[in-house]
Amino acid sequence: MKFWKMHGLGNDFIVIDNRRGEVGTPSQLAEKLCRRRFSVGADGLILVEKSTVADVKMRIFNADGTEAEMCGNGIRCLVKYCYENGIARKTELTVETLAGVKKIWLETTNGTVESVKVDMGKPKFNRADIPMRGTGQCVNEKLEVNGEEYTITCLSVGNPHCVIFVNDIDTFPVEQVGPKIEHHTLFPERTNVEFAQLLGRNEITLRVWERGCGETFACGTGACAAAAAGKVVGKLGDRIIVHLRGGDLLIEYVGSLYMTGTAEKVYEGTIL
């Protein structure tokens, strides 16, 4: 079984063409292949599958075997894989995900995808849509973790997110606070957690604790969530540069959320 090892700003994936259904137990395969030092190693496994409603379908599994609804960095890798392998040789295409059908635009040079723009859809702030226990919205509310109080804004961009603005991103204890919020009883399906530092009205630095993965070098949906949360609470404008550990994303929030960034092929391999 052949695969591509890919990454979007350091958020790395194993991508497999599963249109023939050769992968029968994807959760188990994800756990096996994503183990760093003992296998290929990755944040997640992406499967390209047939779709009846879009050009292709994306399924994505975290390193712990859980299936995610959507992944911003992952979908950029998937469309680069599909374009360069002739699966969907189009510069405008659609991808079916568990979070709905996403429209995507590619910038290409000599048959190689250089940049990808994704319509990530409209964020949802109602607790029931995240999902999050309680009623109404959770915007600028207080949450106590390990004896410390944090101001949180929660939303869904196809998957659940909890955004916190902090003063110093470099010294913030992401590894301690992130998992506590991920597994907090407020979130019945757990949550991704974003820690953002403002650099101006149109620029932030972001660290993300991803559900099922831990801290990653980048998170596309996390960047979208932070930009949307920042605009809703009056901290950010509608065109944001998000600096992540692995590089930068451009997020535009104009009704829908639009994410623009790169995707890279690292190498090809064969699973024996």
- CATH number where 29 lies: 3.10.310.10
Q: What is the pLDDT of residue 134?
A: 97
Q: Are residues 133 and 250 in the same domain?
A: yes
Cα 138 from Cα 208, distance rounded (Å): 19
Q: What is the mean pLDDT of each run of 10 residues along the chain (272 residues)?
A: 97 97 96 96 97 98 95 97 97 97 98 97 97 97 94 97 97 97 97 98 97 93 97 97 97 96 97 90
Q: Are residues 148 and 243 in the same domain?
A: yes
Instruction: List active site positions.
Output: 71, 219
Q: What is the pLDDT of residue 231?
A: 97
User: Both tokens of residue 197?
Assistant: 């530092």
- Strand pairing of 203-210 and 239-244? parallel
Cα 171 from Cα 59, distance rounded (Å): 35
Q: Are residues 18 and 33 in the same domain?
A: yes
Q: Are residues 193 and 215 in the same domain?
A: yes
Q: What is the pLDDT of residue 200?
A: 97
**Number of domains within the chain:** 2
Q: What is the pLDDT of residue 221?
A: 94
Helix ranges (DSSP H) in 107-237: 174-182, 220-232
Q: Evaluate whether 127 touches 135 at the Cβ level (below 8 Å).
A: yes
Q: What is the pLDDT of residue 272?
A: 86
Q: Are residues 113 and 177 in the same domain?
A: no
pTM score of the predicted model: 0.92
Supply the range of the domain harboring residue 205.
127-254
- In DSSP terms, 104 is beta-bridged to 93, 118
